[in-house]
Structure 1
């Protein structure tokens, strides 16, 4: 099973990344799904999404959990029955799970030029240090998107806006850490941010 990388940013948090090389059949044989999860994966029209879903269950097993230990609240946020914090992501051929005693969020995205087309939808404060003439523009945009998606996942509050409420502090090429804020309804929340790149993908995770 291709566990791609394990990261421990602190003593309370572990990130595991999976490279999805197995077939749908092999992944299905490797996991034991509760009925709701089985119906969900069988109802997916894309095999890529099915394999992403199943690889996340493989990652849960790497942590020592079963699919039965995972549930979702009314906002779609995942939880573990033992009270540990969890966040989940998958994109194309990679998936990742972060589990912590702290509030966390994670996202993986493939680096693609078309992110520049939607930049105006999620960039505001970041325009002060980012412009499309920067050589690593697509990589920086992808990192910012991943950070804001991570914040959105951990905050999980209807009405939260990437553009209006999430701010990513400047970082340089080669950096692997920064700070981000959620400024929402006159309250400010600070998060430590970590990110990495591999095989044309970016992964970012936020820890409160």
Structure 2
């Protein structure tokens, strides 16, 4: 199927979602990869990990709309970046979908997750007691996924290690909805405010953030 959804955030920022229905061979044929990338790809187990890696790169190529080689690297913190394009980037994937967010002028973070009941069992590992108080009891599972995706998006936007979802990323109370935004705070060294957006997509939840609030 390929491109399943695309959203423009502003003139220089957007994200897109790719439905993975292709074979690894088909996705591979659409890419230009160097020897290091080929070796890394060969190190992955065949299956979803392989397809996720390939699909995010194919989607990135389509979003950049280029025939040039895309030099996509990973920094010392594991954050992907482009060496030969000016864009900030963020990748995510979950089961049958991959997501990519790009911006020419600001850091970005995106997360996509299949909504499943298991999140209830781990909620207290990434949510503070204060945050758990505002979770809608009638929509507990999707509300928790909004929070998880939001914290993951903030984590990726920040792009640094040693950040605890529970202790360093805090979400201001917000009402459950299938689409919206709310404020989050990243408290590492100095406090940073971030506006996080979210929306339900089929059986998935997407959370994304771009830049820090002034």
Structure-2 change in CA distance of 1:126 and 1:34 (3 Å) = same
Q: What is the aligned length?
A: 205
Partner of 1:106: 110
* Whole-angstrom CA distance in 1 between matches of 2:180 and 2:77: 30
* Whole-angstrom CA distance in 1 between matches of 2:69 and 2:149: 25
Post-superposition offset of 1:15: 0.5
* Whole-angstrom CA distance in 1 between matches of 2:70 and 2:127: 38
Map 1:108-123 to 2 at 5 A.
Answer: 108-123=112-127
Q: Which stretch shows the higher mean deviation, 66-75 or 53-62?
A: 66-75
Structure-2 change in CA distance of 1:37 and 1:67 (3 Å) = farther
Map 1:36-185 to 2 at 5 A.
Answer: 36-62=36-62, 63-65=64-66, 68-81=70-83, 82-100=85-103, 101-124=105-128, 125-130=130-135, 134-169=137-172, 170-185=174-189
Q: Which runs of 5+ in 2 are unaligned?
A: none
Q: Which runs of 5+ in 1 are unaligned?
A: none
Structure-2 change in CA distance of 1:46 and 1:202 (3 Å) = farther
- Specify the SS of the correspondent of 1:52: helix
- Specify the SS of the correspondent of 2:81: strand
After superposition, the C-alpha distances for 1:130-153 in whole angstroms (9 at most, x for unaligned) are 26xx12111111111111111111
Task: Give me the CA root mean square deviation.
Answer: 1.6
Partner of 1:189: 192
TM-score, scaled to structure 2: 0.89
Q: Quick check: 1:89–1:95 contact (8 Å CA) kept in 2?
A: yes
Regions of 4+ moved over 6 Å: none
* Whole-angstrom CA distance in 2 between matches of 1:84 and 1:153: 15
* Whole-angstrom CA distance in 2 between matches of 1:32 and 1:157: 28
TM-score, scaled to structure 1: 0.92
Q: Quick check: 1:171–1:178 contact (8 Å CA) kept in 2?
A: no
